[in-house]
Amino acid sequence: MTPLRILYLVLSVGGAVVPWLYFGPWLWENSFDLPLMIEVWNANDATTGLVYDLTWAYGVLVLWVLIEALPRRDWRSLWAIPAGVMVGVSFALPLYLFLRSRPDRPGGPA
């Protein structure tokens, strides 16, 4: 594995762990009340702006993954799409770069 792929993998793991250091305890303290979490995300203009920023970034990431993965028939790269929904853009983007940067095998993408 190349140093760049290792970096993408480390960034992906960090992008999954760091947000959940905050989300996890909050959800635990609030009995996993997802509607309350969404309400808090829209508590003021700053947090609402951040939600829209991350949502927009995720939409662009989905478009990018589909535009690159479908013609190449690189089905493994599509894992970045549910990763963004289940964890977040901070995990999905470096995961996609990690998956996208793997070497081609003879006969096409693996």
CA distance 87 to 24: 12
Residue 110 lies in a domain: no
Residue-number span of the structural domain to which 38 is assigned: 3-100
Threshold 0.85, pTM exceeds: yes
Q: Would you state the structure tokens that stand for residue 100, as one six-digit string?
A: 């996208």
Q: 108 in a domain, yes or no?
A: no
Specify if 90 maps to a domain: yes
Residue 64: closest CA among 83, 49, 80, 85: 80
Per-residue pLDDT in tens (0 to 9) along the chain, 110 residues? 999 999 999 999 999 999 999 989 999 999 999 899 999 999 999 999 999 999 999 999 999 999 999 999 999 999 999 999 999 999 999 999 999 998 875 455 54
Neighbours of 52 (CB within 10 A): 12
Q: Does 106 map to a domain? A: no
Please measure the distance between the N-terminal and C-terminal CA atoms of the chain and give it in whole angstroms. 15
Within a 13 Å sphere around the CA of 6, how many CA atoms are in the beta-carbon half? 3
- Please count the structural domains in the chain: 1
